[in-house]
Structure formats: C-alpha cells, structure tokens
Amino acid sequence: MYFSHTKVSSVVVVILVLLLFFKSVIKTTFIIATLPITWHIRSSDFYISETKDNFDLSFSNYSIDQQSSLPEYEDQVPAILHHIVLGGDIKEGWIQARNNCLQHHHDWETYLWTSENATQFVEEKFPLLKDMWHRYKYPIQRVDALRYMLLYEYGGMILSSSPLDAADKKKGAVLDMDLDCRRSLGPLRRFAFTAPAAHPVGFSNGFMMAARRHPFVGQLIRHLRKYDRNWFGLPYATVMFSTGCHYAS
C-alpha cells in the first residue's frame, strides 16, 4: 500500500513538473485551438458598420480618390503606403497591382521594402527580434512579421504581398493573393486599425491599416517569440499559428 501511494505521488509530481515546464506551449495551443469560439463571442464590436460607425461600407458616398477622412473625422492613420518584396522574381501582375495603389494614393508617402532595406530595418529597429526573424523557416513568416514591425514603427497601410520563387514554394511557403486598389482607402484613415474579416474566423493580414505605435500592433510584435514554434511539423499550420492570420487574430 505504501509503495502504491508513493508511486501515485511520484506520477503526480512528474505531471505537475511537465505542466509547469510546458506551461507556455499549453497556453498558446489552447488560445489557438479555441479561437473559433472566442472570436465569435468577442468580435461583434470589432466590425465596422454603418449603424455603429456611420461608415458607408459600399464606399459609394466617398470619392474614388478621397485621400482622407477629413474634415468630418480626424485621420488616425498616416498617409504611408508599404509594399514588401522579399526575394523571388517580381511578377507583372504584382507590379500592376502596386501601380494601381500608387495611382489611387498619389499624395501618400510610399515605401518599397526589399530584402536589403527590410533586413537593415529589422536589425536597427527591432534588434531583439532580428535572430528569430532571420531563422524563420518559411519566407512568408518574415513577410508577416515585417508587416507588424513596419506598421508599428511608421503606421500607414500595408497592401499586397511578396512574390516568392519556386524554391520558396517547395519549402512550404504560403503566398497571399496579390491585392489590387480600385479606389483610395482614405476614408478608412479615421479608424486606428483596420483589416478585412477572414472566413471562418479572424481577419486577414494581407491588408492592414494602423496608426503609428498602435497598442494592438505592439502586442502582435511582443508575442512573436512566444508563438515561434514548429506547429505539428506542418508548413501551413506553422505559418498561420506563428505569424499569419490565425496568430494575428
């Protein structure tokens, strides 16, 4: 009886030690796994609506080249447009999509982030994250993380993704659809953070607008290291849960 009691106690101690050791992994896994439930419970106040925000979601009441939400509302997002190109051959369609955005946001400050200036930016502005950023397994993880860093440091709008070459795709990289501009998104500058809803839960990080030093974007950056894991050995899950839409949501 004594032996049995001791054995049970030892098992309990081992379980407690393992739970303590893997506390962070268990917590992050639980948060990710329960997102489909928590998102629907908490997200009702996140959505822009005509009733709550007096915003025309069809954009029909706004000029196609309206660069600002002034004079009716104060602009919270600076007039800065970011595009990211990290490696690979730039496709003609991507160039055209970027040119359309530049045309519709002609008064905005624009940045084109390449492997060279993006690396310099991360190393200078986020030195504590540079090693993690360089060792990301999939190129799209660097693109995702860079999006958050740029929005936090500069604010503005991130639109369209980086083209990846065939070698990157074989490594399991995820390539977002290129996003095109059919009009100016100036009316959205009244909101401190904006991103399109994703199906079935969360939001897409392929397009984001944010005020400089927005606290939510800051949280995304601060939690990057915590979620930097090889999730189940699956490329798609690793990207989505470490830097992608599911992580951000």
Q: What is the CATH number of the domain that holds 111?
A: 3.90.550.20
| pLDDT category of residue 61 using cuts at 50, 70 and 90 | very high
Query: Per residue in 108-154, pLDDT tens?
Result: 999 999 899 999 999 999 999 999 999 999 988 999 999 999 999 99
Residue 166 resides in a domain:
yes
Domain span including residue 155? 69-248
| Number of domains observed in the structure of the chain | 1
Residue 102 resides in a domain:
yes
Q: CA angle, corner 46, sides to 240 and 29, nearest 5?
A: 30
The Cα-based distances of 198 to 34, 234, 243 in angstroms read: 16, 21, 15
Residues 27, 226 contacting (CB under 8 angstroms): no
DSSP string, 196-249: -B-SSSSB-SSEEEE-TT-HHHHHHHHTTTTT-S-GGG-HHHHHHHHTSHHHH-
Q: What is the model's pLDDT at position 161?
A: 59
Residue 101 resides in a domain:
yes
pLDDT at residue 95 above 90? no
Q: Which of 155, 162, 178, 143 is nearest to 248 (CA)?
A: 143
Residue 133 resides in a domain:
yes
The mean pLDDT of 69-82, rounded to a whole number, is 95
Q: What is the model's pLDDT at position 90?
A: 72
* Residue 175 or residue 147, greater confidence: 147
